[in-house]
A and B are shown apart, each in its own frame.
Chain A
Amino acid sequence: MLRNHLLYVLKKNAKMQLTERDFEKLFKEHFVSITIYSRKIVQDTDTAKDLAHRCFVKVWEKRETLPDDSNLKALLYRIAHNLSINYVRDQKKFTTDEALPNVESENSYTDSDIVASELEAAIVDTIRHMPEKSREVFILSRYERLTNPKISEKLGISIKTVEAHITSALKILRKKIFGKEKKS
C-alpha cells in the first residue's frame, strides 16, 4: 500500500524529459495549426507566426517544470490563446482601430476551434506538398476564384490541362483530408 502510494507520488512529481528532437517534432507537427489558431484571434498572419514562435519558446523554457504527463498540445493552444488575447488587448490600449477583433475571455477557446485549426493546417500542408503545377492551378481556382479559361490564359496551358490539374488536386485533398476518394 505504502509502496503504491510512493510510486504514485513519484510519478506525480516526475518532470517531463523533453529532448531537442522531441521538441523539433512537436514544433513541426503543430506550428502551422498554432499559427492558424492565433490568426483567428489576431487577424494577421505575420503577427500570428510571431506569437506561435513565442508560444514554442515558452514551452521550451517551461519544460523542466512541466509534469511528466503534461498534454503538450493542449498547453500549446492554451499559451497561444493567452498570448493572442493579450496581444489584441495591448493593441487596443494604443489604438482606436475598430477593425481589431473583440477579445473574448481567457478560457473561451473550445475543442472545435482547435479541430478547425488542425483541419485548416492539414489542408495547408496538403496543398503545399502538391505537385507544383497542380498546386498553382488549385490556388488560382479555389482561393483566387479565377475561372478555368482565365487560369488557362494566365498560365498558357489548355483548359483541359487546367481541369486535369484541378481533378488531381481534389483527389489528393480528398484522400488526405477525408481519407477517401470521391466515388463517381
Chain B
Amino acid sequence: MNNEEIYEIPEISDTRLLDIDTDAEWDKLSSQLGFRRKTKILRLDVLVKIAAAVLIVVGIGALVNNSFNSSDISTYTAQNTPVETVVENSTQISLNCNSSVTCNAKQKGVFSVDLKGEAYFDVEKNPERKFEINTHDITVVVHGTSFNICEDKAATTVTVTSGVVEVISKIDGKSVTITKDELLTYDANKGFDVKTVDNFNNIAWKLKEFKFCDTPLAEIMEQLSKAYGFSYSFDNPESKELRISGSFCNQKLESIISILNQTLDETDIVSNAEGVYTVKNR
C-alpha cells in the first residue's frame, strides 16, 4: 500500500469530533426542550436476569480490583482556604473551604469522586474512563466539562460553566441533563429544578467573576465575603437595600470595594486591622 494515499483524505479539525454521538446529543436536546422520551419497555424477568448478570460481573470486578489496586483511593480536604488539586492527569478539582473529596480509581472504566461540601470541577475528557461524582443525594456523570457542585443537607446545586453533565437522583433514579449556563437544584422532596442563569455569582469563590444587575448591597456583600473569605456587618440596616449594577472580573477585593465606594453616594465600606468590613453612613 502506498503510504501517501492516506493523506488524500482531508484533515479533520479535532479528533474529538469523532466522539460526538448524535443520538446522545439528541437525547440531551430533547430532554432540554421537554420532548417526550421514547420509552423502551423491558420485561421484568429480563430485567431480573440483567440485574443478576450485572451483580455477578460487578462482584467479580470488585474482587479483582480489591486484590490488585489497594492504593487508588486518595482524599483531599480544604479547611480555611480553597485548595486546588489535579487528578487523572489533567482534571482539576478546586475545593471550597470546609470541603473534601475522596477520589477512587479502583474500578476499571470509572473514576469516581465522593464530595462533601462544595467543589468546582474542570474535567478533561477521557473516552476510556467515565468520571462521576457522588454526593449524599445525587450522582453527576461527566463528559468533559467544567461545573460546580455545592452539597448541602437541604438541597444540592450543580452549575455548569461549559459542556454537559448528567445528574442522577440517588433517591428515585431519575436523571436530568444540564448544559452550559444552567443551574440545577436537587431537593429530595421536590426533585430537580433547572433554570438558566445569566451570571455565575454563586461560584465566584472559584471564578472571581461577578455580574450584578440592580442587586441589593446585602447580597453583593454576601457574595464577596464568600468569594474572598471575610466577615462584614452593616451599621445601618437601610444600606442593605441599596442597589448596584456592574461586573467585576478577576479583580482584587480592595479594587472592588473602592469601585463600590465610588458608586455609593452616602455610604462607605471600610475595613479594620483584622480585615473585617463595615458598611456605614459617610
A interface with B by C-beta (< 8 Å)? 20, 24, 27-28, 31-32, 35-36, 39-40, 45-47, 49-50, 53, 56-57, 60, 94, 119-120, 123-124, 127-128, 138-139, 141-144, 148, 163, 166-167, 170, 173, 177, 182
> Chain B contacts of A20 at CB under 8 A?
30, 35
Per DSSP, are chain A's interface residues mostly helix, strand or loop, or mixed? helix
> Chain A contacts of B30 at CB under 8 A?
20, 24
- B25 at the binding interface (Cβ < 8 Å): yes
Are A50 and B29 interface neighbours, CB within 8 A? no
* B-side interface size class: 35 or more
Closest to A139 in B: B15
With A32-B20, A139-B18 known, 7 other A-B pairs at CB within 8 A are A39-B14, A53-B28, A60-B33, A124-B12, A138-B6, A143-B12, A173-B9
> Chain B contacts of A182 at CB under 8 A?
5
Chain A min CB distance to B258 (Å):
20
Give the docked Cα–Cα distance between A177 and B13 (Å): 17
Closest to A95 in B: B249
- B17 at the binding interface (Cβ < 8 Å): yes
Are A47 and B10 interface neighbours, CB within 8 A? no
> Chain B contacts of A144 at CB under 8 A?
15
Closest to A46 in B: B163
Are A27 and B26 interface neighbours, CB within 8 A? yes
Write out, one digit per residue, whether chain B residues 158-188 have a CB within 8 A of any chain A CB (1) or not (0). 0000111000000000000001100000000
Give the docked Cα–Cα distance between A8 and B115 (Å): 63
Are A31 and B145 interface neighbours, CB within 8 A? no
Are B26 and A24 interface neighbours, CB within 8 A? yes
> Chain A contacts of B209 at CB under 8 A?
94
> Chain A contacts of B20 at CB under 8 A?
31-32, 35, 49, 124, 128
Closest to A122 in B: B10
Are A127 and B33 interface neighbours, CB within 8 A? no
Are A167 and B1 interface neighbours, CB within 8 A? yes
Supposing A50-B162, A166-B6 touch, asked if A57 and B32 sit within 8 A by C-beta, the answer is yes
Are B12 and A31 interface neighbours, CB within 8 A? no
A170 partner, pick from B5, B33, B35, beta carbons under 8 A: B5
Write out, one digit per residue, whether chain B residues 14-41 have a CB within 8 A of any chain A CB (1) or not (0). 1111101011011011101101000000
B interface with A by C-beta (< 8 Å)? 1, 3, 5-18, 20, 22-23, 25-26, 28-30, 32-33, 35, 144-145, 162-164, 179-180, 209, 249
Closest to B3 in A: A148
* Contacts between the two chains (Cβ within 8 Å), count: 95
Are B35 and A47 interface neighbours, CB within 8 A? no
Closest to B20 in A: A32
Are A53 and B13 interface neighbours, CB within 8 A? no
Are B162 and A47 interface neighbours, CB within 8 A? yes
Closest to A94 in B: B249
Are A142 and B7 interface neighbours, CB within 8 A? yes
Are B17 and A35 interface neighbours, CB within 8 A? yes
Are A141 and B6 interface neighbours, CB within 8 A? yes
Closest to B11 in A: A143
> Chain B contacts of A119 at CB under 8 A?
10
Chain A min CB distance to B124 (Å):
11
Give the docked Cα–Cα distance between A141 and B9 (Å): 12
Chain B min CB distance to A23 (Å):
9
Closest to A148 in B: B3
Are A46 and B29 interface neighbours, CB within 8 A? no
A to B CB contacts below 8 Å, 26 in the list: A27-B22, A27-B29, A28-B26, A31-B20, A31-B22, A31-B26, A32-B17, A32-B22, A35-B17, A39-B13, A45-B16, A46-B163, A56-B29, A57-B33, A120-B17, A123-B12, A124-B12, A124-B17, A124-B20, A142-B9, A143-B12, A144-B15, A163-B1, A170-B5, A170-B9, A177-B9
Chain B min CB distance to A142 (Å):
5
